[in-house]
Amino acid sequence: MTAPQATRRRLITLTTTLCSLACAALLTAQPVLAQEMPVKFQLDWRFEGPSALFLVPAAKGHFKAEKLNVTIDAGNGSGAAVTRVASGSYDMGFADLAALMEFHANNPTAPNKPVAVMMVYNNTPAAVLALKKSGIAKPADLAGKKLGAPVFDAGRKAWPIFAKANGIANVTWIGMDPSLRETMLVRGDIDAITGFSFTSLLNLEARGVKTEEIVVLPYPAHGVKLYGNAIIVGQDFLKKNPEAVKAFLRAFTKGVKDVIADPKAAIASVKERDGIINADLELRRLKLAMDASVLTPDARAEGFGEVKGPRLSLMASQVSDAFATKERVNAEAVWSGGYLPTAAERAIFPKK
């Protein structure tokens, strides 16, 4: 073999080796590029109608399309959801903004205080419910009455705001487990209850009370303009994965549009997570929740997902007073709207 031939053979061998290494590197890199970001998400409550807002984008693959592997777990209250996100057990969650504010003000040195990044329930679902036979027809009729709710109930904790707005005094509170709230009202142990309107109304009906026999006094309809539930994120996760948070909110928004377009199909995703639910009942609960808190005139005016500064500041002040927090709530510290999808992407409202 001549010297030029040997040189050519070495060059061919070297080139082949380099190509093999490059191809192997590309093949190795492909799974990394396609890898999905794991996101642990904590709901505020059980798998019921409103949870379709999160279960639908998961079922339809919207999260997957954004390269997110989202696991969604049922919850047992907004306060617990906030605490679990703050602890790092969950990356993101769904919780009442008032509960988030309370946590911030009572835990000023906590290192991973969650922040709200998207408003879902523009109006709080909190309401007072009573039976017509009690003679209660308006807020003023509650003066001197016996009210009941779990101590952590959003409506009960915000009661001082409702009472001040409607000039109500001298009520007596009875605490109980959530499962006993509507039962005690039906038995006559208490005169009225606080709770989420779409939950307590259907729970009363399930206990044999006819719809026309129930009085519902929604907080927003009686001078209380509190925001309701928002999507929250732990600060550590938010700082490390801002693009993942943006992707989550984009996928979630697509899912909300799907729920609005076909609520009945949306309930199928809830049924998949909890096979014992009553689909018809949960469809009604979903529609009630959407009408009361999501597709509201306030939400249309402010923009789905957004909050307005003056209203947020007022709520921070009201929560500080009503919840008797250790420190005053800093409205700017609990909200970060820079991760929202575009206004066009968040256009969920039917055209007038």
Q: What is the pLDDT of residues 278-337, one digit of tens each?
A: 999 999 999 999 999 999 999 999 999 999 999 999 999 999 999 999 999 999 999 999
**Cα-Cα-Cα-Cα dihedral of 5, 7, 10, 11, to 10°?**
-110
- Judge whether 305 and 118 are in contact, CB under 8 Å: yes
What domain count does the chain have? Answer: 2
Report the CATH number that the domain containing residue 85 is assigned in CATH. 3.40.190.10
Is 189 a member of any domain? yes
- Give the separation between CA 165 and CA 217, rounded to whole angstroms: 13
Span 176-217, pLDDT tens digits: 999 999 999 999 999 999 999 999 999 999 999 999 999 999
Residues 112 and 252 both lie in one domain:
yes
**Residues 217, 139: one domain?**
yes
Q: Would the pLDDT of 116 be above 50? A: yes
The structure tokens listed for 251 are 């996928």
pLDDT given at position 16 = 52
Q: What is the pLDDT of residue 350?
A: 83
Give me the pLDDT at residue 31, please.
40
44/112 same-domain check: yes
Identify whether residues 90 and 135 lie together within a single domain. no
Q: What is the pLDDT of residue 351?
A: 80
30 band by pLDDT with thresholds 50, 70 and 90: very low
CA 162 to chain centre: 22
Q: Phi, psi (5° rounding) for residue 68? A: -120, 135
77/65 same-domain check: yes
Q: How confident is the model at residue 352 (pLDDT cuts 50, 70, 90)?
A: low
156 with 132, same domain: the answer is: yes
List of residues 6+ apart from 341 with CB closer than 8 A: 246, 249, 250, 253, 305
Model pTM? Answer: 0.89
Q: For residues 315 and 272, state if they share a domain.
A: yes
Task: Work out the average pLDDT over 127-148.
Answer: 98
Alpha carbon distance 189, 51 (integer Å):
31
| Same-domain check for residues 110 and 245 | yes
Asked, for residue 22, whether it belongs to a domain, the answer is no
69 within a domain of the structure (yes/no) = yes
Domain holding 134, by residue range, is: 126-222
Residue 239 and residue 203 in one domain: no
Residue 326: what pLDDT? 97
318 belongs to a structural domain: yes
pLDDT at 348 over 70: yes
